[in-house]
Amino acid sequence: MKNKEKNYQHPFDIFNGDTNAILNADVFLADITNDDPGVMVELGIALSNGKKIIAINSDIRLKKVRVSMKYLLMQLIIMF
């Protein structure tokens, strides 16, 4: 499905394409630097399907002691 005005893909098509890519992947690489909701959804799909996951946080300003969503996700990923 394409948006007729600007030829954009419909969000459902993007979701289905991303989901299929995750399901066909051996490893899921997630950039969790910005807490992007789309990445979090994709991470959930990868986790629920038993994919090996590499999560990257490239924000060097974060302190090691700061507890954040990124930290909690990393702990969850380590458990799998």
pLDDT at 7: 77
* Residue 74 pLDDT: 64
pTM for the full predicted model: 0.66
User: Tens place of pLDDT for every residue, the chain, 80 residues?
Assistant: 555 567 788 989 999 999 999 999 999 998 888 878 899 999 999 999 999 998 887 766 655 544 566 666 666 655 55
Burial of 6 (0-12, 13-18, 19+ CB in 10 A): exposed
Looking at residue 41, its pLDDT comes to 93
